[in-house]
Amino acid sequence: MTQSVICRTTAETDITLELTREGSGKFDGTSSIGFMDHMLTLFCRHSLMDLKLALKGDLIVDAHHSVEDLGICLGQAFAEIMEDKAGIRRYGSVFLPMDETLVQAAVDISGRPYLVITGDLVPGRAVAFDDQLVEEFFRAFAMNAGITLHIRYLYGRNFHHMAEAAFKAVARALREAMEHDPRETGVPSTKGVL
């Protein structure tokens, strides 16, 4: 499957998203959170996946429910578009610099969800977006995508730069892991399944 549509409605959020694996890196729509839209634009551009999003959330409370539920839905969509793992590289990793910041991301499209984040994200806040929401998003995404994801903040002083570098690094690592390996004839696992 190269495209997935996920709809999720709760008392806190109403989300419809469409994720296309073989895209051009375009983000269309809104999460109603400007900083999150910025991160999604970067994520799409660097993963070369396309994302269409409509999200209404209880932003009068804060952005937590919207960001977490968005991660859940995006993870579910990713799991669907990666259902057939035959011929993929499976692993991807990247060091990504952004000005004073350096972040590393490594991913295994393994079917085994896990998240590890090390290093310190400089505390900060964008409009309606607390620094803790970066980890909330990636946890929800990794758990629902069925991937092992490691993010390491090596250094940085600016919250915006560090968050942006993390989203770009994860996108680039996913792009590498999703790529077709011309030498791989099946699923890249000694078990024969992922």
What are the pLDDT tens digits along the chain (194 aa)?
799 999 999 999 999 999 999 999 999 999 999 999 999 999 999 999 999 999 999 999 999 999 999 999 999 999 999 999 999 999 999 999 999 999 999 999 999 999 999 999 999 888 778 999 999 999 999 999 999 999 999 999 999 999 999 999 999 999 999 999 999 989 999 888 88
pLDDT of 126 reads: 81
User: What is the SS3 assignment for the chain?
Assistant: CCEEEEEEECCCEEEEEEEECCCCCCEEEECCCHHHHHHHHHHHHHHCCEEEEEEEECCCCCCHHHHHHHHHHHHHHHHHHCCCCCCECCEEEEEEEECCEEEEEEEECCCCCEEEEECCCCCCEECCEECHHHHHHHHHHHHHHCCEEEEEEEECCCHHHHHHHHHHHHHHHHHHHHCECCCCCCCCCCCCCC
**What residue ranges define each of the domains in the chain, with the CATH number in brackets?**
3-178 (3.30.230.40)
pLDDT of 129 reads: 87
pLDDT of 128 reads: 75
